Amino acid sequence: MHTTAASAVELASAIVKGLGAEDRVTVAVCPPFPYLSRVAEVLLGSRVALGAQNMYPEKEGAFTGEVSPTMLVDVGCRYVILGHSERRHKLGETDALINQKVRKALAAGLRGILCVGETLEEREANQTEAVLDRQMRRGLAEVNRSELKELVLAYEPVWAIGTGRNATPDQAQQASAFIRRTIADIFGEEPAQEIPIQYGGSVKPENARSLMAQPDVDGALVGGACLISDQFLAIIRAALPG
């Protein structure tokens, strides 16, 4: 919940300019709902895709204050973040609701970025794998194997979001490897190897390369650092090979 119309446009413009024709990395920005259309105009013709931070799992109807997947597609969104930890823990979203969102996003032609992750209490109780297993199995219920190619998974340890405390590269790798093994158990080895897994949790230019160098970490879901174009572009560069 940051930026104004003017600063959102300025930030998106700087990212488009900074990325240029670079095509070895996939980049998307997810501004707040009021600025989606303005940012979409800036991104037109660029290599930066548009995403939203959330959606309601219905096409239309009497859901005052909500935004539908078809509305997101209509304004140019390609991605939507689903089940972010702040929505789970601050706004009470359940695995069942998140699963509805995943299925409705896929049906609308959006690529869902499904977030999973444990709290500090759960990690200290050695429940990390149990929490990730539950969130994935419930969040991906009734999703077909063929639909998995339209999904991105994001491991975001709740204890590392907005705290300045990030998981070590080894912790990020362990969790991401477990996520991949779980996907293999549910859907098979091939889709498990193909699905992108991001790490999200206080990603900064200083730690981005070491995190994304891990074999099962394919990218980053960036929070505060994306509000400063130079920092976000530095994280993008950290994802490039070589």
Q: How far apart are CA 139 and CA 148, in angstroms?
A: 12
Helices (H), the chain: 5-19, 36-43, 69-74, 85-89, 95-108, 120-124, 128-139, 169-187, 189-194, 205-212, 229-238
2 is catalytic: no
Select which of 22, 41, 66, 84 is catalytic: 84
Q: How far apart are CA 199 and CA 223, in angstroms?
A: 11
Select which of 156, 190, 194, 206 is catalytic: 156
Closest residue by Cα to residue 93 from 127, 66, 124: 66
89 is catalytic: no
In 99-109, which positions are buried (b, 16+ CB within 10 angstroms) versus exposed (e)? bbbbbbbbebe
DSSP lists the bridge partners of residue 214 as none
Phi/psi at 126 (nearest 5 deg)? 60, 35
| Per-residue tokens: 4 | 């104004």
Return the SS3 of 27.
strand
Return the SS3 of 109.
coil
Return the ∠ at Cα 167 (arms to 161 and 169), rounded to 5°: 140
- Active site positions, annotated: 84, 156
